Amino acid sequence: MGTRPIGPLLIGMALPMIASMLMQALYNVVDSIFVSQVSEAALTAVGLAFPIQNLMIAVGVGTGVGVNALLSKSLGEKNFEQADRAADNGIFLALVSTVVFMVLGGLFSGAYFRVQNVSAAVGEAGEAYLFIVTVFSIGVFGQTMLEKLLSATGRTLLSMICQMVGAVTNIILDPIMIFGLLGCPAMGVAGAAWATVIGQCLAFALGLYLQQFHNKEVKLTVRGILRPHAATIRRIYAIGFPSIAMTSVGSVMTFCMNQVLLIFSETATAVFGVYFKLQSFVFMPIFGLNNAMVPIISYNYGALHPDRMKTTMRLSMALGEGFMLIGFAVFQLLPGVLLGFFNASEAMLAIGEPALRIISTSFLVAGICVVCGSVFQAVGQGMFSLIVSVARQLLVLVPLAYLFSFTGKLEVVWWSFPAAEVVSLLMTLFFMARVEKTILHPLAEKAKAAA
């Protein structure tokens, strides 16, 4: 990561991660496609459960980002003891996260749906789905952490294999467990949840095997996992907490948006849930790109190579915007086709087609914001990412959507998304200038002096 040309290095590391993230997006969408064949109420239930699933992903991925960055930086500094300690503590934190969500999901899944004032059919299906994915969350936290350990040392192909195994397992089991094929009882929405957690647990087991036998730079030990190191945990969360908070803010935003949309109809919330599934095909490739970019930037930050950091950033932004332009074109030209995959009724199409076209205008500037957010984390300035995320989703998007709802026109509510993205871009550019002035420029001077 310190010598190979940036273009081939970034693309070589990113392609497996992009493929795995696209597979992740696919099996998220396939879940909803199969569930939509049960009923629109089932589709709405899964959509309303999404904020809690997103919160679990926030904790898992955010902690993994902190471990990834600390581990990569430690390897760049040739501090192998710290690298191993970061990996051990990452597994410990994944186990702690599992216990927390097991307890919360077991006790409060039903209450979560009752407070949203939804129909009995939606509430019953949603409670069953949410209970399973939270109580059996060991797979999602373990899988996420092991993938980050593998990608931190450049083994993104192995990380991709883990994710693809989990995704393919879920896709195969979905129709079997939802509709009761091959002798399996028909479980409906609960079947989708079981397919998800089984796939995640299988990916976790495979990731553990690959980490221990094919990742030579980092070794996990039972003793290290069971003896948490407070200073290392603080360093992990100093980097990872902003990422957790950012994605958690997304969960809060989604919950609040669902409440605004329920003013209009449950079908509107179903459309919103479908949009989030579909937009993952646009954003997941950029997240995969970022997963490759962060260890490269972190390594070269520790190794005092600011020029390589800047080259990585510029190339990542260009690629990110390219993905976004493709997504924008598809959402503008084919919204009816996209919604048709989810067995959309005439009412759902009437709401969904303008929604997808309006919201997707925000894609035009989102690529820069997403890439820069990961750059902030890679250089230890994750708080910038958090500030931008909170401002965009909670201080602009949700209040605007609520105000626009008073017009009585649902189409007006969707315009809150592009408006919030413009605010995000302005703030991102401001913080990027701060990073250039306070980190990249002094680092270049330090590297010049060292030479």
- Give the pLDDT score at 451: 64
User: Residue 42 falls within a domain, yes or no?
Assistant: yes
Q: Give the residue numbers spanning the domain of 105.
A: 6-450
What's the predicted TM-score (pTM) here?
0.77
User: Residue 188 falls within a domain, yes or no?
Assistant: yes
User: Residue 1 falls within a domain, yes or no?
Assistant: no
Task: Please report which helix (H) or strand (E) contains residue 258, including its range.
Answer: helix 230-262
d(CA 352, CA 164): 30
**Both structure tokens of 168:** 């393919």
d(CA 247, CA 254): 11
d(CA 399, CA 405): 10
Q: Which of 54, 47, 147 is nearest to 94 (CA)?
A: 147
C-beta of residue 182 within 8 angstroms of C-beta of residue 242: no
User: Residue 35 falls within a domain, yes or no?
Assistant: yes
**Both structure tokens of 437:** 């002035």
d(CA 122, CA 45): 5
- Give the pLDDT score at 40: 86
User: Residue 373 falls within a domain, yes or no?
Assistant: yes
User: Residue 297 falls within a domain, yes or no?
Assistant: yes
User: Residue 318 falls within a domain, yes or no?
Assistant: yes
User: Would you call 40 exposed, middle or buried from its count of C-beta atoms within 10 A (0-12, 13-18, 19+)?
Assistant: buried
d(CA 283, CA 278): 9
Q: What is the pLDDT of residues 291-327, one digit of tens each?
A: 888 888 888 877 778 888 888 888 999 999 999 999 9
- Give the pLDDT score at 145: 93
For tokens 């646009």, name the residue: 282
Q: Which of 344, 350, 275 is nearest to 36 (CA)?
A: 344
- What is the total count of domains within the chain? 1
C-beta of residue 151 within 8 angstroms of C-beta of residue 159: yes
d(CA 388, CA 373): 8
C-beta of residue 257 within 8 angstroms of C-beta of residue 273: no
d(CA 302, CA 439): 12
Q: Which of 296, 298, 307, 314 is nearest to 446 (CA)?
A: 307
C-beta of residue 30 within 8 angstroms of C-beta of residue 178: no
Q: Which of 18, 38, 42, 48 is nearest to 272 (CA)?
A: 48
Instruction: Report, as ranges of residue numbers, the positions in the chain whose pLDDT lies below 70.
Output: 1, 24, 27, 451
